Each structure stands twice: as structure tokens, then as C-alpha cells.
Amino acid sequence: MVHMRAAIYLRQSLDRYGDGLAVTRQREDCVKLAHQKGWTPVEYIDNDVSASKGKRPAYERMLTDIAAGKVNAVVCWDLDRLHRQPIELEHFMALADKHNLLLATVTGDVDLSTDNGRMFARIKGAVARAEVERKGKRQTRAAQQRAELGKPLWPCRVFGYTDDLALHPVESAMVRDAYRAFLSGSSLGSIAREWNDKGVPSTRGNKWSANTVGVLLKKPRNAGLREYRGEVVGKGNWPAIVDEDTWRAARAVFDTPGRRFAPAPGRRHLLTGLARCGVCGQGLKAQITRARNGSRYPIYCCTGCFKVSRRMGRVDDVVIAMVCGRLARADAVELLHDTDRPDVEQLRADANGIRARMDGLAAAYADDDIMTPAQFRIANERLAERLKAVESLLIAAAKAHLYDGLPLGSDSVRKKFEGLDLDRQRALIDALMTVTVLPTVRGQKVFDESKVVIEWRAQGVAAA
């Protein structure tokens, strides 16, 4: 038997990660195939950059070697690795015919010595659709190889980690604190501000925004989880910054439509929107008013009925005293017991399931006349109600972190509370109580605390 020398032709795809994995991968598969056939491999490698300019030195060298009889077989990953133009294929087939060249591809043998083989090769070259599928296959293989190597999928240094995938001492602590702050009610904007004030930029040297902080906190890698095509596919081989529960709770908050943890940007007052008008029930707004002596001061007022307005500082004082009084009580630690963490994953799946059913219902209603409008409304409302219940459980799950870092049951809680950012203060107030401001008798000068009505929510009840 003639000893077969096989040219292994490798063409490197544009390699996003710049680490030569693409060629390594093709080579592994091709060498394996050559060995299976009992052929001795000889490598020819071109890169895509020169190939796209029409220069393929290794390919030309291979053709020369085929013509010279130095190799008598060709192995490649797929025909599209071998040729870019139909004309190249024709030339190659002529050469193959002349030298009885054998061809093997990882994705399937093509016998160019038969009519059918040639037709197959031509059709294959012409069908663009196939390229798309093969691309997917190569990428899947790439992901698989990365997984085998235990290599993460990010191309350059990411925030929170060093170049060699250890925890970055400063940044990882910042990320950890950010999760805690976010889950206890801070807005992404306030976290971004804090980081910018600290002077720690993103890994690209940019200032932080609410958006970029949000993108960062959503990353599964922070919990040491590997992601592929937007799905968590397993554990990574790098250290986690936060535990999986924390990350999932944060994701749940992100996934909850109309999350209450995201007050409008620029909200600068403790009780706007939280405190309600005692006459019409609308959320109070902040305004600046002018006293008779010309001095200006901020007030909460109702812009629905205009029957309630009160000095902002005085109302804030009452509410802060009540909240801190509650948190300083010896039994305040019991607040933590209400916050059993439910199965966030399951809840989110439930929520998505209900949303899908609502979509389906709406589509069915739009498409045919099976349902009357009344039937549709009832079915839809029923689903909406269930969705609301599931979403409130998701929010409750996230709130398990509401009291993190507060010295519950101690008088020092007040100092700590006053040092919290506004979003977090608001979240705590919102979790513990409702605030209603009643109208006062016209002309009354003295601030009447009894007109600021505090009602404890379920978990605050014990305090009342």
C-alpha cells in the first residue's frame, strides 16, 4: 500500500478571542480524521485576513505540492474552509482528478472522483444556507472547546476581576456592596454616582451610569456562573463575587416590571410619591414655597386636590423618628424572620409562564371569534391577578436584603439610617409603613405631628 501523505488545510476564521483557538480546533478534528484514515498529516494554514484579500499562500503551496505529488490526500474541516470562490473549486477538482487526490472533510466525505461527488461539491458551494448552519456548528464547537479548557468567554479584563481571573481586591468589594445596595433599594444611578465619586472607572476607563451598572450586575459571571448565548450553562472556574442567591435575587428585581426599587432618576426627596394626600389619596409632590417674609422653603403638597401642603423638613423628621424608633427596638431583629427567601427561579418561571399565557390569550382573541370580549377580559384579569401575586413574591425575595448592614435593635441604627442613600431610606420606609398627610385648619401656624398619620405595614404591625 502506498503511504498516504495528507495535506491538512486550515483556514483561521476571524478569531474574536485572538488566542488561535479556531485553528487549534480545526486542527484537532482534522488530524484525528487523518489518523483514522491512516494518513500522515502535513499542515497548511492560512489566516482569514489575507484570505479575504485573495492571498492564500498556504493554499497555493498546497496546490503546488499536490501537483508535485508530495501529498495525495487533502483533509479539511469542511469544503468551505477550502474554497471561497466556485472557480477555486473547479480548479481544485481538475487537479484532484489529474492526481487521483483523496479528500476527506470532518463534516462528511466528498468524493471528487465521481460525478455525484462533484455535483455535491458544487451544490454545496452554492448553497449559502448551509454556510449559516455550519457557522453555528463551528461556534458550538468553539464553545465546547472553551468549556473543555475551562476558559471563560470574556475577551478582556472584566470589572471585579484581575487579568488572571482572581478577585480584584478593590473592584470585587465594590461589586459585592453594589448588589447589597441594589437589593436593599438603592437605585442603579446612586451606585453609579458613588463609584464615580470614588474615582473608580470601568475597565475601559469610562464613567459609570445607571445603565452600565445594571449591565454589570446582571452578569452571571459575578456569581461564578458560565453563560452561553444568554443562558447560564454551568459553573465557571473563576471565583464568585457574590453567591448565586444574591445574583438571582438581583435578576429577579431586574425582571420585575415596574420594580419599585427604581425611583425616577433625580428623585431628591424622602417622601415624594410615598406619602399620600389624606383627602384625595394622591402621592404628594415636592415644591418650593415662599413665606410671607420672603424666605423660601420646600414643602410636600398635593397637586390633585391642593388641600394638603406641609413643610418638608418637619414631615421628614416625624417619619425618620418613627422608622428609626422601630428599627432600634429590641424586637427589630424579628423583621428579618418575615423575609424567608422563596425559590426565585421557580417564581420567575411562573411569571414568565403566566405572561406567555396572557400573550397567547390575546393572540387567540385577536385571531378568531371564539371568545366574547367579556370572556377575554375575565380570563385576562384572572391571569393578571396571578401575575401580580407572583411578582410581589419576587419583590419580597429581593427585599430579604433590605435590612443588611443595619444594627437592628440598637440606638445606633439612626445614625446608620441617616447615612444611607435616599433610595435605600425610601425603600425602608416603604417596606415598613404608609404615610398619610391630613389637611390642617387654615391659618394654623404650629406644626401638628398628629396630622402625619403613620400606618405600619404587616411586618411592622408589632410596633404599633
Q: Minimum CB separation from Zn ion for residue 332, in Å?
A: 33
Is the CB of 62 or the CB of 284 nearer to Zn ion? 284
SS3 for 196-257 is HHHCCCCCCCCCCCHHHHHHHHHCHHHHCEEEECCEEEEECCCCCCCCHHHHHHHHHHHHCC
Is the CB of 209 or the CB of 282 nearer to Zn ion? 282
Q: Could you say whether residue 287 binds Zn ion (CB under 5 A)?
A: no
Q: Minimum CB separation from Zn ion for residue 158, in Å?
A: 49
Edge to edge, the sheet with strand 5-12 lists 40-47, 5-12, 73-76, 102-105
Q: Could you say whether residue 301 binds Zn ion (CB under 5 A)?
A: no
Q: Minimum CB separation from Zn ion for residue 297, in Å?
A: 20
Q: Could you say whether residue 304 binds Zn ion (CB under 5 A)?
A: yes
Contacts of 154 by beta carbon, 8 Å cutoff, 6+ apart: 221
Q: Minimum CB separation from Zn ion for residue 447, in Å?
A: 19
Q: List the one residue out of 428, 357, 391 whose CA is nearest residue 254.
A: 391
Among 51, 143, 210, 279, binds Zn ion (CB under 5 A): 279
Site size with Zn ion, rule: CB under 5 A: 7
Q: Minimum CB separation from Zn ion for residue 279, in Å?
A: 4
Please classify residue 95 by burial: count the beta carbons closer than 10 Å to its beta carbon, then call 0-12 exposed, 13-18 middle and 19+ buried.
Answer: middle
Is the CB of 67 or the CB of 305 nearer to Zn ion? 305
Is the CB of 225 or the CB of 302 nearer to Zn ion? 302
Q: Minimum CB separation from Zn ion for residue 307, in Å?
A: 5
Q: Are 95 and 69 in contact (CB under 8 A)?
A: no
Q: Which residue type is seen at 196? A: N
- Tell me, what DSSP letter sits at residue 78? -
Residue 330's region, left for phi above 0, alpha for psi from -120 to 50, else beta, is alpha
Give the total residue count for the chain: 464
Q: Minimum CB separation from Zn ion for residue 231, in Å?
A: 48
Q: Which stretch binds Zn ion (CB under 5 A): 134-142, 239-247, 295-303, 408-416?
A: 295-303
Q: Which stretch binds Zn ion (CB under 5 A): 278-286, 332-340, 387-395, 416-424?
A: 278-286
Among 94, 173, 200, 305, binds Zn ion (CB under 5 A): 305
Q: Minimum CB separation from Zn ion for residue 275, in Å?
A: 11
Among 10, 277, 435, 463, binds Zn ion (CB under 5 A): 277
Residue that the C-alpha cell 461527488 belongs to: 117
Rounded Cα distance between 259 and 394, Å, is 10
Please classify residue 133 by burial: count the beta carbons closer than 10 Å to its beta carbon, then call 0-12 exposed, 13-18 middle and 19+ buried.
Answer: exposed
Angle at 257 between CA 256 and CA 263, to 5 degrees: 95
- Binding residues (CB under 5 A) for Zn ion: these are 277, 279-280, 282, 302, 304-305
